[in-house]
Amino acid sequence: MTSTAAIPLSISSDGKRRLLVGLSWEPLTAPQLSEKEKKSFFKTLFHKWTRTPFNRSGYDRKAQRVYRKKVDETGREKEYDYFDLDLICLVFDNHGNLKATIGPDPEHLINESGTVYHSGENPTGIGGIADDEQIHIHTLDVPADYAHFFFLIQSDCKFTLAEIDSPRIRIADSKTEKTLLESPLIFLENQKDATACLSFHIFRKGDDWLAERSDRLGAFEDDWESVCKEAISASK
């Protein structure tokens, strides 16, 4: 895996010292929906911004069915006609043991301690402000064995990452919204079939938090947990 040099992350000293990782992309087209479908569509967007980590009921399965999603054997929705990216965080301890998976699915929205959480599913790229999906980390309060945070971008639709309009990922101070590190997704000619990208790796070093870019491209169904474990072993 190709990685850039790690850089320290400057986080506001007050509050929870939260980091956010945000993923954004441009929507394919505005959905053409009936009046009944529009109500469910905007209900979905409303829930995206009003749901909190402590109120999971905002997830609206009925509204999601407006998009006619059909999951294949790998878990990817290959027939979905809109641009849909998912932001996922795989959390490991220093020994390479997986401690948490954070993502847009209801069962993965938040970790047990409430210190790492996802903003919720955005199935179109419509409705986001600075980001379409976010993951927050309370750096002061995360469990002591949470050492490595790997951020995975997956295309949960029929398009490859290269076909999606302007995908971009950033790390920011959650309090100030100041971007600390940002990366557009760029593809070489032989990488345009990729449907997943292991992007940022955030890790702890004493009281400091650092980040590096991994930029590992692959398939949605690849064993990304093993890829992360190899990276942790190589860093020792």
Cβ neighbours for 99, distance < 8 A, ≥ 6 positions apart? 91, 92, 93, 143, 145, 146
Percent of the chain topping pLDDT 90:
65
pLDDT averaged over the chain? 85
Q: What is the pLDDT of residue 2?
A: 56
Neighbours of 30 (CB within 10 A): 8
For the chain, list the domains and their CATH numbers.
7-234 (2.60.60.30)
pTM score, whole prediction: 0.83
pLDDT in tens, 84-101: 999 999 999 999 999 999
The first and second tokens of residue 81, run together, are 């006609």
pLDDT in tens, 93-126: 999 999 999 999 999 999 999 999 999 999 999 8
Could you tell me which of 64, 66, 68 has the C-alpha nearest to residue 80? Answer: 68
